C-alpha cells in the first residue's frame, strides 16, 4: 500500500513539474529578422561548412581496375577524366588497391595537368602493404581542385617497364560551374 501511495505522489509531482515548466519555463529564443548572426570560425578550430544544396554541384565518381603504369616522357599514367570547359572538378576522396609483381609500388601518384606535362600538380598517396602478398592500399579524404581542360592522371610510382598492372583506383567529388 505504501508503494502505491508513493507512486501516486511521484506521478502527481511529475505532472505538476511538467505543467509548471510548460507555463513558466524558458521562452523560446526569438531574433529580429534584421539582426546579423556572427559565427566564430578561428583558424585553429574551423567550422566545417559545405554547400550541399548548391544547384551548381554535379556529383562525380570514376575509377579504373587496370592501371597503365609504364613510363611516358610526355606525361604519366592513365587519364581518369578531362575536366569539361566551364567546370571545376573538386576531388574529395581517393582510394586504391594495387597488386604488383614481385613487389608492390610505393605510392599512388595523382596528377592534374592542364597545359602540358610540366604544368599542374602531383599528389602522392602512400600505398600501405596488406596481409596479401604484393598488395598495397590507400584511402584518403582530400581536397584537390582541377580547372577546365585539366587531365586527371593516375599511376603507381615508381613507374616500371610493365605496361599495366592491376590497380583498383577510385576518385570521387563533384563538378562546380564557374
Query: If pLDDT is split at 50, 70 and 90, which confidence band does 92 have?
Result: very high
Q: Is the pTM of this model over 0.85?
A: no
Q: Would you state the cell numbers that stand for residue 122, as one nine-digit string?
A: 602531383
Q: Would you state the cell numbers that stand for residue 65, as one nine-digit string?
A: 581496375
What is the average per-residue pLDDT within 35-47?
76
For the chain, domains (ranges, CATH) are: 58-177 (2.60.120)
* Residue pLDDT, tens place only, 94-146: 999 887 766 667 788 888 876 555 567 888 888 888 887 778 889 999 999 99
Specify the higher pLDDT residue, 155 or 39.
155
Quick one: 98 exposed, middle or buried, by C-beta within 10 A (0-12, 13-18, 19+)? buried
Amino acid at each position: 500500500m505504501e508503494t502505491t501511495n508513493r507512486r501516486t505522489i511521484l506521478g502527481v509531482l511529475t505532472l505538476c513539474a511538467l505543467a509548471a515548466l510548460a507555463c513558466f519555463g524558458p521562452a523560446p529564443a526569438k531574433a529580429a529578422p534584421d539582426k546579423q548572426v556572427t559565427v566564430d570560425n578561428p583558424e585553429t578550430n574551423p567550422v566545417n561548412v559545405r554547400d550541399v544544396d548548391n544547384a551548381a554541384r554535379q556529383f562525380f565518381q570514376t575509377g579504373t581496375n587496370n592501371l597503365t603504369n609504364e613510363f611516358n616522357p610526355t606525361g604519366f599514367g592513365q587519364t581518369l577524366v578531362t575536366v569539361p570547359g566551364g567546370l571545376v572538378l573538386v576531388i574529395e576522396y581517393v582510394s586504391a588497391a594495387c597488386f604488383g609483381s614481385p613487389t608492390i609500388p610505393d605510392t599512388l601518384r595523382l596528377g592534374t595537368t592542364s597545359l602540358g606535362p610540366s604544368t599542374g600538380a602531383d599528389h602522392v598517396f602512400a600505398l600501405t602493404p596488406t596481409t596479401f602478398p604484393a598488395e598495397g592500399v590507400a584511402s584518403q579524404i582530400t581536397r584537390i581542385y582541377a580547372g577546365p581542360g585539366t587531365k586527371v592522371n593516375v599511376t603507381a610510382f615508381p613507374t616500371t617497364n610493365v605496361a599495366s598492372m592491376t590497380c583498383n583506383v577510385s576518385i570521387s567529388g563533384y563538378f562546380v560551374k564557374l
